[in-house]
Amino acid sequence: MAVTAINMRSMYELDEQECAERIGIAKQKLGDRLVILGHHYQREEVFRHTDFSGDSLKLSRIAAQSKAEYIIFCGVHFMAEVADILTSPKQAAILPDLAAGCSMADMANLAKVERAWRELGAILDDVESSVTPVTYINSAADLKAFCGRHGGIVCTSTNAKNILEWSFEQGEKVLFFPDQHLGRNTAYRMGIPLDEMVVWDFDEPNGGLTVEQIKKAKMILWKGFCSVHQMFKPQHIDNFLTKHPETKVISHPESSFEVCQKSDFVGSTEYIINTIAQSEAGTRWLVGTELNLVNRLHEQFKHEGKNVHFMSPTVCMCSTMFRISPQYLVWTLENLVDGNVVNQIKVPAVDAKQALTALNKMFAVSK
């Protein structure tokens, strides 16, 4: 890494307007050497400076196709890792603030997943042929590599159904991590009953399960969750419908089973955006997903008479993604202008190769 010419401390006192001006100047200087990717959950004052926006699957495809020298990911750590895995060694994947992580991704680490795999292997006759490991893209690169080593695959909230269908063609069971809710909601909508799903508690021997429970289960769900989407409760829907019974409810599948069962529509961030965009003028929506996206949808569609409401009465946004600030983006860009690559995310070569195997399977199954 080059010596940093610009100190981040000098950026802290910049106001939003000055940040915007300096971001624009730096982007112009870097030209097509740069592409900025922004997740839908990103705060607005950063989101407006991105070249492409989307959910994890869409942004992964854009990263893979980009020829830019610098790929700045305004998201969280695992997203920048995916960008690094999918791009060439001549390209640099950059995360403006290295503290932008994912609490859900942190709930599953390689040591715990490998222990679970060994324990499953001691109970099942042939774990390699009977269990397909599936990791949500919201996970560390070494877990994607684990799936690559063991015949598994990566999924997103957009393609989870297709991925699970493929997985059950490989073996009779799926070990799904780190988000239990996406796994449960997707599998249930595919017709798998709840009594054939179990939750693996990674702090307990054998996941806190009996041998009989493990042998019966088709879905072995990791005890992980999104701290934002767990805030939504069935009573939030009930209370809102009491006041506005005409409301359509739409939720992200990282929400609980009970919330998704009470929702009229369930799908990824791209699905939520497209469903509301294509709805009739004058409709009212209660949305169970991250606050920045809901606020953006409210502003985007209010001129059509559409009312878009956040499901929880408590403010809950992706606090780790919120760490990506305009000040950090200025600092990152101006260092690049000066020839200093800061906060580059580099996945070890062995992990990158194995993770790419699992990611390429995902892309093939998602077509």
pLDDT one-digit tens code per residue, 296-322 = 999 999 999 999 999 988 766 566 666
Q: Which two tokens stand for residue 177?
A: 């991590």
- Answer yes or no: is 154 within a domain: yes
Identify the pLDDT of residue 3. Answer: 44
Q: How far apart are CA 20 and CA 317, in angstroms?
A: 23
* Same domain (yes/no): 248, 300: yes
- For the chain, the domain total comes to 3
Identify the pLDDT of residue 1. Answer: 42
* Same domain (yes/no): 218, 239: no
- Answer yes or no: is 12 within a domain: yes
| Residue where a domain stops, chosen among 226, 243, 266 | 226
Phi, psi (degrees; rounded to nearest 5) at 208:
75, 15
* Rounded mean pLDDT, 183-212: 97
* Same domain (yes/no): 109, 215: yes
* Same domain (yes/no): 162, 130: yes
Query: Residue 7 above 70 pLDDT?
Result: no
* Same domain (yes/no): 159, 69: no
- Answer yes or no: is 359 within a domain: no
Parent domain of 16: 8-100+320-348
Number of helical (H) and strand (E) elements in the chain, helices listed first: 16, 13
Identify the pLDDT of residue 316. Answer: 62
Of 314 and 147, the one with more pLDDT: 147
Query: Residue 146 above 60 pLDDT?
Result: yes
> 288 by DSSP, 3-state: which?
strand
Q: Which two tokens stand for residue 29?
A: 């200087």
| Residue where a domain stops, chosen among 226, 261, 285 | 226
* Rounded mean pLDDT, 82-91: 92
- Answer yes or no: is 354 within a domain: no
Query: Residue 357 above 90 pLDDT?
Result: yes
Identify the pLDDT of residue 308. Answer: 97
Sign of CA dihedral 250, 52, 345, 2: negative
Q: What share of the chain is helix, strand, coil (3-state, %, to 5)?
A: 50, 15, 35
Query: Which of 29-43, 166-180, 348-362 is the least confident region?
Result: 29-43
Query: Residue 4 above 70 pLDDT?
Result: no
CATH number of the structural domain spanning residue 207: 3.40.50
* Same domain (yes/no): 120, 216: yes
The torsion region of residue 183 among left (phi > 0), alpha (psi -120 to 50) and beta comes to alpha
* Rounded mean pLDDT, 336-358: 96
Q: How far apart are CA 33 and CA 89, in angstroms?
A: 15
Predicted confidence (pLDDT) per residue in 214-247, tens digit: 999 999 999 998 888 888 999 999 999 999 999 9
Tokens 């409709």, residue located: 283
* Residues 6+ away with beta carbon under 8 Å from 15: none
> 249 by DSSP, 3-state: which?
strand
- Answer yes or no: is 315 within a domain: no
Mean pLDDT value across the chain: 92
Q: Using a pLDDT cut of 70, give the percent of the chain over it.
A: 94
Q: What is the pTM of this model?
A: 0.90
- The answer to whether residues 276 and 309 touch, using CB atoms and an 8 Å cutoff, is no
Identify the pLDDT of residue 259. Answer: 98
| Residue where a domain stops, chosen among 226, 250, 281 | 226
* Same domain (yes/no): 247, 326: no
Identify the pLDDT of residue 70. Answer: 96
Confidence band of 10 (pLDDT split at 50, 70, 90): low
Residue 131 to residues 8, 125, 161, 165, 241, Cα–Cα distance (Å)? 47, 10, 17, 13, 42
* Same domain (yes/no): 73, 129: no
* Same domain (yes/no): 85, 140: no
Query: Which of 53-62, 74-83, 279-288 is the least confident region?
Result: 53-62
